Structure 1
């Protein structure tokens, strides 16, 4: 390890952790987060399924299979349990590891470049370990045979079960792409949408396939019960194909610059007022980016005469709209990407990086800066 120069050592909460390379430390943190998060997510899901199936008629207790009697209340209970468990734990662990808890989701995130393959491989191991730990704890804590495995329904062929798992997983993974991988003003609420997506998918899939959508969810109980059904492979291949399908469609809409089709989704009221949707010239996502809007900011300073308001203003965000009196802007929405001869950056001496004038008279404020 390279010797640190005197004075370059940063003080950490845990002594000596600063000597561990950041990349290794970050991978370790993500692995711990995925292990604990997967454990908690599946613990509550498994335990709720155990409760729902404890007295269900027709349960195959010898293999721990779900009851094949179409009990609507049990299906709803299980679906709600998994959906809410994912929402809560994803919200808790999102800042630590990303809150994936699912090898299929991890695979999809790696396919679209949201995480690198080394991180994906490490948290994949943590997810499987978390699943086995959750199944083991549920088996030890709750009385009776463990009854949480994913099994095919009666008269459901292996091919049907495979494609059910594929399409339901694709819906879940694409939801994660658009709510979590794509950053927007509602990203902090992504766990709610993701939990609801799993809830809807479980409603459709629990009766026919057990509603896995997650190889770890099916793998853990099989390890604890020492029984793998002959069709267990569908709970690996189906979700993997679903992740590939979701990743393919996500890349497709990204290549087509989907942002230009329905712009303004993240704008506030002021930004929407100054935004101009020039559909003929808006060819890329940058052309419909959030405009800069200067909002007066009443900063107060104490003095002999009491609090005094300053004349400062705030500009949001760094995409460059100049709210001039004439209404003219540099390029499409002032970001300099307009393609018409009049609005092209080449014909604008100021260019897209020109200083933006505040609503008030005063010094110019550069785009996205805070005076």
Structure 2
């Protein structure tokens, strides 16, 4: 119980730091944007800045706290880890509320401390995106992130200590694709926090729970497939030390 408690505090603190700085970056980008896209939406430059803010914030938060809790900070990642057999389901249940609470507190403090409307950081669908399109787009975006976590962090290798870099870059790439079309959630805590802080839930909010959840399960399914067929044998010696390192 002590270990579960300590891990939960790590997930709360990590989710808070990750989203606090990410929300602040996003609000600043909206306030300081000097141009708009032809259709009146945010320009590509603003989108890149937002994606960079989320990706780099996650990278640093994971690197700081992964020794305490694993550095998940995302209920969809937690679900994927449990489904992949890399996380005990009891630990997953303990981490889930800590992550949700971290997202709410981050959004609430950004709302209190900074000018701008926290509701602007909610994840919403772009014009022309149907709910079904948004749901499955979120699913594939999240599966990319969760599979990155599974292969770089859960699957141990000589480069595991560098996993936070790959995880942060995975979110950055997913955000580049997703910020405009769906808001680039990939994380129920990320979408839920601003809605609670703004006391306003946007239409089709449910897709930001179902889509990332399905993405976590999809990534876990392929991970189990690879493990079942001993993927190491398909492309052997990838972690070989090399002749110059052999004693």
The normalised TM-score by structure 2 is 0.95
For 2:136, which of 132, 138, 163 is the aligned residue? 163
Q: Does 1:143 align with 2:115?
A: yes
Report the RMSD for the aligned CA atoms in angstroms.
Answer: 1.8
Q: Residue by residue, what CA displacement relative to the aligned partner does 1:91-124 show, whole Å, maximum 9, x if unpaired?
A: 0001000000000000000111111111101110
Distance 1:263 1:74, change over 3 A: same
> Which residue number in structure 2 is paired with residue 234 of structure 1?
207
The 1-side partners of 2:49 and 2:33 are apart by 13
Aligned match of 1:40 in 11, 17, 24? 17
Which of 164, 171, 180 is the equivalent residue of 1:191? 164
* Residues paired across the two proteins, number: 244
Secondary structure of the residue that 2:162 maps to in structure 1?
helix
Matches within 5 A, 1:79-90: 79-90=51-62
Q: Distance in 2 between matches of 1:117 and 1:154?
A: 38
What is the DSSP-based 3-state SS (H/G/I as helix, E as strand, rest coil) of the residue aligned with 1:54? Answer: helix
**TM-score, normalised to structure 1's length?**
0.64
Q: Please tell me whether residue 54 in structure 1 is matched to residue 31 in structure 2.
A: yes
Which position in structure 1 is the counterpart of 2:227? 254
Structure 2 contact 35–43 (Cα < 8 Å) conserved: no
Larger of the two Rg values belongs to structure = 1
Structure 2 unaligned blocks of 5 or more: none
**Higher RCO, Cα 8 Å, sep 6+:** 2
Structure 1: how far apart are the matches of 2:177 and 2:223?
23
Contact (CA 8 Å) 2:72, 2:78: kept in 1 or not? yes
Query: What are structure 1's unaligned runs of at least 5 residues?
Result: 1-23, 60-66, 273-292, 296-371
- Alpha-carbon distance, 1:144 to partner: 2.7
Whether 1:100 and 2:72 are equivalent positions in the alignment is: yes
In structure 2, do the counterparts of structure 1 residues 210 and 68 end up closer, same or farther at CA, with 3 Å as the change threshold? farther
The residue that corresponds to 1:73 in the other structure is 45
Cα shift at 1:187 = 0.1
Greater share of helix? 2
